[in-house]
Structure 1
């Protein structure tokens, strides 16, 4: 009986893992697909591959003109397809239920992006606490301290972290080192050894008592618009909001209303609900510190995410499960 060789599709150029993938190509049927000119071009190329070969794993070194990772993109590779792996911690661009229903694993790269995202979180927390965007705007207008008020001292500020996964934990440690007090809400309380002194509270207590609220949750049906008008209304007057998770975790229009009313004093945002579109008010006011979904963009991260992506493939080849699966693995190996 002829055995079908293992097939792997690699979409995008792997700058840091290309040599390893070329070595794999000596053992397996590895097809390299460059970033296509449009999603339609990507769909056409994937249909062509699926019609002429059997593939068991797809590595997305890039999502440009490929996302969303859904039935339209992946269906033709079934039933042989068993693993899809992509970059980054977020997976809102992936139809995970669809993959799970066909016993296909999805693996992300949460470890590589955790530290730079946590650092970006701390940067935004410091900016909103010390009113950095307003201070800079005054200086640039040559209005030396005009209209500025003294900011709170970080030692008197409690940061509430919504979500205490790898990014939340790292952010908490960095904030603790700077003198902030921290509390957190998570779906389940962490073991004391992992809390690092942070206080576990309910979601209600956190949004009602924290001076700064920082979001660290994936975007799911349950977390979409986790913060909207009702939640903002219950917060402290002058609360500060930071988001390095996913834009749609916050109802952006509701955030604008809360800022216009004075309920939210300042916001530090690296992600937005309809990227790259941003609510005009958030661009116009000097009470926001903004980034273009840039938290993970460091030279080291580019290298680390590719290596973690490759490690997921290697782990799957060895054990039948990648190192960081998002969904439950099937009962049997591929």
Structure 2
């Protein structure tokens, strides 16, 4: 029996060596392989169906990343609304606050969360402390306990009425480029897009066009379509804040993510079954 642990951090070149764990690659893995422990919440780099067909259990780290990612999203929300990146650039040029436009407070703004999982709920909790009103859309409505006062609305309404739209949904075939030209046209011209999920959820070319045309007011991004490349149109845009996919790159979070994987692997080796598996495999073992 063997175990494979994967860690898709930008500083690692592992994905450049192996590529995606697609059907072709999985078919070449040794027959003794029984567990793949993915050290991350998103696991779009792994094709689960071929693993399931070969009786390989796949686990990710679904909840440990919630707080760190929500912290990053909150930073992007505050930075975008208050235009802190423009202010920092002014200070670095020695201009202090001369010529800076007035920014916006988060209080009384509507935060729309597309994908109200663990990260979305952690973000909602933080945003409430800023006086923001929370609405969300999921494939299915949450229980009242999990909603914690957030309002469930249809997807189109969420996009059209949110002052800040935060993307907190997984990347898969149905969500790739699910936010594009039509969605940007539907958003308020004063709205801001926040993406701490996966870059390909957004049509990056459409986002750049929306920023340049003024269809939306700004963007706060931690993820991109072709990482580690960040388009210069985003990096240089005064109304875009670009972080280099650092949502979970804190010491405490990385330590617990690795410990989570190790505990899962230990359980698998001891019992033949991982403590947690990805949703597509739940109930199979």
TM-score, L = length of structure 2: 0.91
Alignment partner for residue 133 of structure 1, among 74, 85, 105?
Answer: 85
Residue matched to 1:105: 57
Shift of 1:320: 4.2
Alignment partner for residue 274 of structure 1, among 218, 226, 232?
Answer: 226
Shift of 1:252: 0.6
The alignment of Structure 1 onto Structure 2 pairs a total of residues equal to 278
Task: Give the whole-Å Cα distance in 1 for the aligned partners of 2:96 and 2:233.
Answer: 24
Residue matched to 2:217: 265
Pair 1:328-2:281 in alignment? yes
Residues 212 and 236 (structure 1), Cα distance of their counterparts in 2 relative to 1, 3 Å cut: same
Q: Is the 8 A contact 2:235 2:241 kept in 1?
A: no
Pair 1:308-2:260 in alignment? yes
Task: Give the whole-Å Cα distance in 2 for the aligned partners of 1:61 and 1:307.
Answer: 13
Shift of 1:74: 3.4
Shift of 1:66: 3.8
Query: Residue by residue, what CA displacement relative to the aligned partner does 1:119-149 show, whole Å, maximum 9, x if unpaired?
Result: 1111111111111111222222233434423
Unaligned runs of 5+ in 1: 1-6, 9-56
Unaligned runs of 5+ in 2: none
Instruction: Give secondary structure in 1 for the equivalent of 2:177.
Output: coil
After superposing the two structures, state which structure 1 stretch, 279-288 or 59-68, moved more: 59-68
Task: Give the whole-Å Cα distance in 2 for the aligned partners of 1:175 and 1:321.
Answer: 38
Task: Give the whole-Å Cα distance in 1 for the aligned partners of 2:19 and 2:123.
Answer: 29
Query: Residue by residue, what CA displacement relative to the aligned partner does 1:7-48 show, whole Å, maximum 9, x if unpaired?
Result: 32xxxxxxxxxxxxxxxxxxxxxxxxxxxxxxxxxxxxxxxx
Alignment partner for residue 141 of structure 2, among 189, 203, 211?
Answer: 189
Residues 95 and 313 (structure 1), Cα distance of their counterparts in 2 relative to 1, 3 Å cut: same
> Rg bigger for which structure?
1
Query: Residue by residue, what CA displacement relative to the aligned partner does 1:238-282 show, whole Å, maximum 9, x if unpaired?
Result: 210111110011101100110011111111111101112222211
Instruction: Give secondary structure in 1 for the equivalent of 2:94.
Output: coil
After superposing the two structures, state which structure 1 stretch, 138-147 or 191-200, moved more: 138-147
Q: CA RMSD in A?
A: 1.9
Task: Give the whole-Å Cα distance in 2 for the aligned partners of 1:131 and 1:249.
Answer: 24
Residue matched to 1:48: none
Residue matched to 1:25: none
Shift of 1:72: 4.3
Alignment partner for residue 180 of structure 1, among 129, 132, 148?
Answer: 132
In the TM superposition, 1:249-264 aligns within 5 A as 249-264=201-216
Shift of 1:76: 3.5
Residues 255 and 106 (structure 1), Cα distance of their counterparts in 2 relative to 1, 3 Å cut: same
After superposing the two structures, state which structure 1 stretch, 319-328 or 286-295, moved more: 319-328
Instruction: Give secondary structure in 2 for the equivalent of 1:172.
Output: helix
- Kindly indicate whether structure 1 or structure 2 has the higher relative contact order, using CA contacts under 8 Å at least 6 residues apart: 2
Residue matched to 1:76: 28
Q: Is the 8 A contact 1:253 1:279 kept in 2?
A: no
